[in-house]
Structure formats: structure tokens, C-alpha cells
Amino acid sequence: MEKKLLNFLLAVCIASFPFLFKGPKMRENLLIFSSKGVIATLIDAYVVGKQKLEYPVRPLPKIFKTNIIYDMLFFPILSVIWVKISYNDNFGKILLKSLIFSVPMSIGQWYMERNTGLFKWKKWSPFHTFVSVSFTLFTIRGLVGLMKILDKFKGKQDITES
């Protein structure tokens, strides 16, 4: 059953690519995607290395101790979607919209941990998931904010040079 769930998640992630990575913000979306993949992989590798959780069923188990579908596809895709829905929002709205992702993710992981063999929590809880998902969402959102500032600065610089 776990392998079927992972294959389904992989198929959904791959099917979402054409919808998420098109249009004028494609470069930005790819940066969000890759940055979130790096951050999620580093955090997950640390947590697994500290034996706070483990992934008994995962792709390429001889190579990775983490679940690369979560770290390099699923979480990055969620971040791209989150940035898209919060792109022009103020901090209050961004905070509220982050709950749309971090609370269901925490509840979903709690449910999946109890009812599947995909991962096993040792020194982990829904609160840890909530904090780590929120932290990575806000880190990525901060990166997007920095990119927006740099784009404005570059635009002003281009105008003065013309």
C-alpha cells in the first residue's frame, strides 16, 4: 500500500509541473521549487540523522535515508503554490494563508504516521511538522520578497541607464 501511495504522489507531482512552471514567473517558480527542495532535504537529512524520524518505505532506500519525493517534489510544489496564492499579500494575510498549508500538513502527517508505514516518528510530533513546514514556507517567502526588491532595484537601475 505504501509504495502505491508514493507512486500516486509522484504521479500527481509530475502531472502538476506543466501547470506550475509556465508563464512570466517561470524563473521565479523554478527558483522557489529548487530552493525549497534544498531546504527540505537539508532539514530532513538532519532530522533523520538525529533519529527523530525515519522513512521505512522510501524511493531509492540504498541511496537516500529521506523520502526524496517529499523533499524534492511534494514540498517544493506546495511552496510554489503557496507563493502564488500569497504573492501580493501583506504579512497578516501571508500568516493566515500559511496556516492553510502547515495545519493540514501536520494533521495529515499525524494521520499517515499512525495508519501507514511511510514514516515513523521517534522524537517527532505534529507540532514539529507545523514548525518545520511554517519555517520553510516563510524562508521561501522571504526569498521571494528579496527577489521582488532586487527586481525593483534592477528596474530603477535600467531606467536611469537609458
Average pLDDT value over all residues in the chain: 91
d(CA 155, CA 162) in angstroms, rounded, equals 11
pLDDT at 60: 92
Q: What pTM, to 2 d.p., does this model score?
A: 0.87
For the chain, percent of residues with pLDDT exceeding 90 = 72
pLDDT at 162: 53
d(CA 106, CA 8) in angstroms, rounded, equals 20
pLDDT at 115: 95
83-127: pLDDT as tens digits: 999 988 888 999 999 999 999 999 999 999 999 999 999 999 999
d(CA 141, CA 33) in angstroms, rounded, equals 12
E-strand stretches of the chain: 53-54, 120-121
Show the cell assigned to 50: 538525529
d(CA 117, CA 80) in angstroms, rounded, equals 28
CA angle in degrees (0–180, nearest 5) for 80-45-38: 30
d(CA 117, CA 11) in angstroms, rounded, equals 20
pLDDT band with cut points at 50, 70 and 90 for residue 131: very high
* Residue 123 contacts residue 52 (beta carbons within 8 Å): yes
Of 18-27, 41-50, 62-71, 125-134, the least confident: 18-27
